[in-house]
Structure 1
Amino acid sequence: MSDNTKKHRSRTDRARGGIQLSGVSKTYGVGEAAVHALTDIDLDIAPGELVAVLGASGSGKTTLLNIAGGIESADSGSIVIAGQDISGIKPAALGDFRRDHVGFVFQFFNLIPSLTARENVEVIIELTGRGDRRRVPELLSAVGLADRGDHFPAQLSGGQQQRVSIARALATDPDLLLADEPTGALDVATGREVLALLQQTSRDGRGVVMVTHNEAAAAIADRVVRMRDGQVIACETNASPVDAATVRW
């Protein structure tokens, strides 16, 4: 058995679920004003796999991410996360499912400015009823912020704020982590730190989907999905993902 095969199996053995999108389409507006944001998307993401979604602005990347995470609903097709099809469930149940299974990381952090880094992680546990507050110091330590728990967002750098947002996303122990342009507001050095965290998160057994316009950042992924005009135009397997610490752009 090759080292790569052993690595893949060990990841899969630790994982709780992946995501499968089949025939997913989404249109905004009607008639001549209709915009076909997604057209007949088929995409499988395995547990423990990091997938980068690349494309120009307006290509459908963020819509794909929002539908994959249950923030938006598809017009047609199925979305299966951790073995459950979420495409037909009611909004309230969908919110519960998203809370229990999906973590989100956004480009602009979305931290609460009046709460400390520790409190920003704790609040998601309190709101969802999932996770363990006793793990918050461990999560902050894992993202390199063990000594910043009592700092407010304004006292943290952009990279540190994004790392808090990743700790928050992981606080409920989700099966799937979705990241929308997570390095878009960061310089290269801090961007590398965030990419390293995403890479490690996938190696710990979660499916990770990262939307980006950055070819260099996408090089850390196991696969690169390229989109144009709401369609997947290429899906490339990366036999040797780049270590995040070496990424340059």
Structure 2
Amino acid sequence: MNEKAKADHTGNDRARGAIILRGVSKTYGSGDAAVRALTDVDLSVRPGELVAVLGASGSGKTTLLNVIGGIEAADSGSVIVAGQDISGRKPAALGEFRRDHVGFVFQFFNLIPTLTARENVEVIVELTGRGDRGRVPELLAAVGLDDRADHFPAQLSGGQQQRVSIARALATDPDLLLADEPTGALDVATGQGVLALLQRASRAGRGVVMVTHNEVAAAIADRVIRMRDGRVTAEDVNANPAAAESIRW
């Protein structure tokens, strides 16, 4: 791990995995073509908490995740993530923020087809200068792929590719893990394994936000946020989150 990464992950810095959004709005387009994706959204996530965001297509779930992760900037409101106010930052600064603090898991795995599973994880360490390349075998073992490390994406099942993407997301030891429909393309058994990994990431002290349309998958979360038409419409605390291995859909 390089010196910058060491400095960012010492002491109580994992507490920077918190998320605080206040009055966040986002509009695409203008005039008659304007679409309000988020309207006055308030949201808080504590370090070590797994929050599921539920809603129909077009409810604003993915836009919310993109704003939290610095992929897009909010038009208004306050966005404090991982101890930093990223409201109004320019694209280059948001890119640095993503590199230094956020791990992303997408429904479509975005693996590089010409690299093996191990190389797909190693490359993020090399590109960001964060994390420890020596931990890559440990990460692949943690997601149950130590025996598939030298296989290319085309030689892996969809579930195995998703697990590679999770290992890649964790390779830089991010404060936050953001997952957009991580089980959407998976069967139940494979989806259970992926959800278990997200639970494990939150128990390690990361803030984890999972966007899903799957009510059953949301049962693993500590809290469930419901969205409709760009607004948070309900928030439910789950006193007894289900173990990922126990759920079916």
Which TM-score band applies after superposition, normalised by the shorter structure? Answer: over 0.9
Counterpart in the other structure of 1:66: 66
Report the CA distance between 1:89 and its aligned residue: 2.3
CA distance in 2: counterparts of 1:225 and 1:42, whole angstroms: 11
Q: Which amino acid aligns with 1:61?
A: K
CA distance in 2: counterparts of 1:88 and 1:16, whole angstroms: 19
Counterpart in the other structure of 2:223: 223
* Contact 1:65–1:178 (8 Å) recurs in 2: yes
Report the CA distance between 1:79 and its aligned residue: 1.0
Counterpart in the other structure of 1:9: none
Counterpart in the other structure of 2:90: 90
CA distance in 1: counterparts of 2:210 and 2:24, whole angstroms: 18
CA distance in 2: counterparts of 1:15 and 1:57, whole angstroms: 32
Q: Which amino acid aligns with 2:65?
A: L
Report the CA distance between 1:93 and its aligned residue: 1.8
> Unaligned 5+ residue runs, structure 2?
1-11
Report the CA distance between 1:34 and its aligned residue: 1.1
CA distance in 2: counterparts of 1:171 and 1:180, whole angstroms: 18
Q: Which amino acid aligns with 2:73?
A: S
CA distance in 1: counterparts of 2:78 and 2:151, whole angstroms: 42
Counterpart in the other structure of 1:208: 208
Q: Which amino acid aligns with 2:242?
A: V
* Contact 2:14–2:175 (8 Å) recurs in 1: no
Is 1:151 the equivalent of 2:131? no
CA distance in 2: counterparts of 1:114 and 1:201, whole angstroms: 28
* Contact 1:14–1:204 (8 Å) recurs in 2: no
CA distance in 1: counterparts of 2:54 and 2:14, whole angstroms: 28
Report the CA distance between 1:28 and its aligned residue: 0.9
> Unaligned 5+ residue runs, structure 1?
1-11
Counterpart in the other structure of 2:162: 162
* Contact 1:143–1:197 (8 Å) recurs in 2: yes
- CA RMSD in angstroms comes to 1.2
- Which digits, 9 at most, give the CA deviation of each residue in 1:154-193, with x for residues without a partner? 1111111000000000001100000000000000000000
CA distance in 2: counterparts of 1:162 and 1:63, whole angstroms: 21
Is 1:109 the equivalent of 2:104? no
Report the CA distance between 1:16 and its aligned residue: 3.8
- Tell me the SS of whatever aligns to 2:146: coil
CA distance in 1: counterparts of 2:13 and 2:76, whole angstroms: 32
Q: Which amino acid aligns with 1:224?
A: V
CA distance in 1: counterparts of 2:14 and 2:158, whole angstroms: 32
CA distance in 2: counterparts of 1:130 and 1:124, whole angstroms: 8
CA distance in 1: counterparts of 2:173 and 2:22, whole angstroms: 26
- Tell me the SS of whatever aligns to 2:24: strand
Equivalent residue runs for 1:1-249 within 5 Å: 15-249=15-249
The number of residue pairs the alignment matches comes to 238
- Tell me the SS of whatever aligns to 1:178: strand
Change beyond 3 A, Cα 1:13–1:96 = closer
CA distance in 2: counterparts of 1:82 and 1:229, whole angstroms: 27
Change beyond 3 A, Cα 1:172–1:13 = closer
CA distance in 2: counterparts of 1:231 and 1:30, whole angstroms: 19
Give the alignment's TM-score, normalised by structure 2: 0.93
CA distance in 1: counterparts of 2:14 and 2:59, whole angstroms: 33
CA distance in 2: counterparts of 1:129 and 1:112, whole angstroms: 19
Q: Which amino acid aligns with 1:196?
A: A
- Tell me the SS of whatever aligns to 2:72: coil
Counterpart in the other structure of 1:7: none
Identical-pair percentage: 82
Report the CA distance between 1:90 and its aligned residue: 2.4
